Amino acid sequence: MTSPTVGPVATGPTTPDAAGRMHAVVARLAAGDFQGRRVGTPGGKGAAAWLVSHLESLGAQAFTDSFPVRNAVKELSAIPVLRWTTASGKQNLVHRQDFAEHLASAYTPGLVTGPIAAPDGAVAGAWVLEPSYNAARAAELADVGAAGIVLPRGTDDAGLMPKMIAGPAACPLPVLSVRTDLFEAMTATVHSGQPSEIEGSVPLRTVDVEGGNVHGIFRTPIEGSLSVLLTAHFDGVGDDPGGVRFPAACDNASGVAVVVETAQRLHGLLPAEVGLAVALLDAEEAGAHGSAHHATYLAAGTLVINMDGAAQLHQAAAVEASGPAHSLLAALDQAGRETGVALRGQAMPSDNRRYAAAGFAAVGIGMGMPGYQTPAETPNRVEAATLLAAADLITATVLHLSRTA
């Protein structure tokens, strides 16, 4: 498939001011009072209220739309504990560096103590070392009286274990993941016959919450005219109990900043008949519930562009297209050529998929998330050049669509 041949478009003011505006949005959303913006928390609701106010200040008609999120959000009521005792002494392992809660764990707020056992060893009353999680195996271990399950887990380049809040159904046992080298050391103690014991707690429960999307209508389309929706999720995985911060600057305050900046820019450039709105979505981290809710009533024919991560562009932006998105993809290609942003087909499993599943033409665009879902995902990791590239790319894409519609 080839792109239509159209001339370059005027994409509006790409200035240091634009980078400053976008960085200001990122910094505000990543601030401590928004507590990592997990769906259903005071911090998440505070971020939504701030976004409504911000969109109104830009001339949009802004409002929130709430929806239920049931049986989907995994929440820590306290920091999990893992102590490992051997003949050499007791180690207090460090949460999210040495170990983390497994999302299939039973809610286990109190300490459970037991020896460490190999999968084929004496598992009754023991924490059992398993190579990977399997629900049927977990049920089998619970039936024979195992105390818990320990799994191996890797870390990111900084030695951290990314946090997630959506996962499989809870099994009957506490489940903890430990860093791969520690798992191997635990295995070695079992094989050598040395005494080796674990005390562990996993206060992880599943909660029902209310989400709230933030909508900003910049222009209502004249019937039959092009209508474009720019989307980005504003929620994060939330801070840990005790105050460890997960600022979610890259995933996805950066995407929100780009979408808002781009809409502001396009509002002054598009022909009067073209519709333009933004949807800043909640509960993506819990399974893209916000977009699933919105897709049920979005006007037919709306073209959707979703931005998920605009923090550190490396070589090429990732693009996933779904639904009847050929013209949208062609416009994106043309915009990429004009703005110098390289593009490649790569999976973007985010809100764009919800819109596509409902029959809309949708593309998801990703430009990097350094520090993904760890405390290292701070505003200073969001590169100004990437924010500007993303805003230019989407602006040019929509302008091309408006010229060829």
Residues 259-318 that bind other proteins (CB under 8 A): 284, 287-289, 292, 308-309, 316, 318
- Which residue stretch of 7-15, 22-30, 193-201, 205-213 sits at the interface with other proteins (rule: CB under 8 A)? 7-15
How far apart are the C-alpha atoms of 375 and 248, rounded to whole Å?
8
How far apart are the C-alpha atoms of 91 and 103, rounded to whole Å?
23
- Pick the closer one to other proteins by CB: 239 or 320: 320
Among 123, 151, 186, 295, binds other proteins (CB under 8 A): 151
- Which residue stretch of 36-44, 157-165, 187-195, 198-206 sits at the interface with other proteins (rule: CB under 8 A)? 157-165
How far apart are the C-alpha atoms of 179 and 150, rounded to whole Å?
10
3-state SS, 143-199, equals HCCCCEEEEEECCCCCCCCCCCCCCCCCCCCCEEEEEHHHHHHHHHHHHHCCCEEEE
Tell me the closest approach of the beta carbon of residue 155 to other proteins, in angstroms: 6
Cis status of the peptide bond prior to 380, with omega within 30 of 0: no
Residue 348 within binding range of other proteins, rule CB under 8 A: yes
Work out whether the CA dihedral 100, 103, 105, 108 comes out positive or negative.
positive
Two tokens, residue 173: 């046992």
- Which residue stretch of 47-55, 166-174, 207-215, 376-384 sits at the interface with other proteins (rule: CB under 8 A)? 166-174
Tell me the closest approach of the beta carbon of residue 90 to other proteins, in angstroms: 25
How far apart are the C-alpha atoms of 254 and 260, rounded to whole Å?
10
Residue 321 within binding range of other proteins, rule CB under 8 A: yes
Tell me the closest approach of the beta carbon of residue 348 to other proteins, in angstroms: 7
How far apart are the C-alpha atoms of 258 and 390, rounded to whole Å?
7
Residue 338 within binding range of other proteins, rule CB under 8 A: yes
How far apart are the C-alpha atoms of 276 and 228, rounded to whole Å?
5
Instruction: Give, as ranges, the residues between 62 and 81 that touch other proteins (CB under 8 A).
Output: 72
Tell me the closest approach of the beta carbon of residue 124 to other proteins, in angstroms: 25
Among 64, 91, 155, 187, binds other proteins (CB under 8 A): 155
Q: Label residue 348 exposed, middle or buried (CB < 10 Å: 0-12, 13-18, 19+).
A: buried
Instruction: Give, as ranges, the residues between 171 and 230 that touch other proteins (CB under 8 A).
Output: 177, 180
Instruction: Give, as ranges, the residues between 128 and 147 that touch other proteins (CB under 8 A).
Output: 132-133
Tell me the closest approach of the beta carbon of residue 86 to other proteins, in angstroms: 24
* Spatial CA neighbour of 294 closest among 232, 364, 248, 348: 232
104 half-sphere exposure, CB direction, 13 A CA radius = 18
Among 125, 167, 172, 301, binds other proteins (CB under 8 A): 167
Three-class SS of residue 382?
coil
Q: Which amino acid is at 62?
A: A
- Which residue stretch of 9-17, 33-41, 107-115, 241-249 sits at the interface with other proteins (rule: CB under 8 A)? 9-17
Tell me the closest approach of the beta carbon of residue 247 to other proteins, in angstroms: 18
Three-class SS of residue 94?
coil
Among 29, 228, 248, 343, binds other proteins (CB under 8 A): 343
Instruction: Give, as ranges, the residues between 86 and 105 that touch other proteins (CB under 8 A).
Output: 100, 102-104
Size of the site for other proteins (CB under 8 A): 78
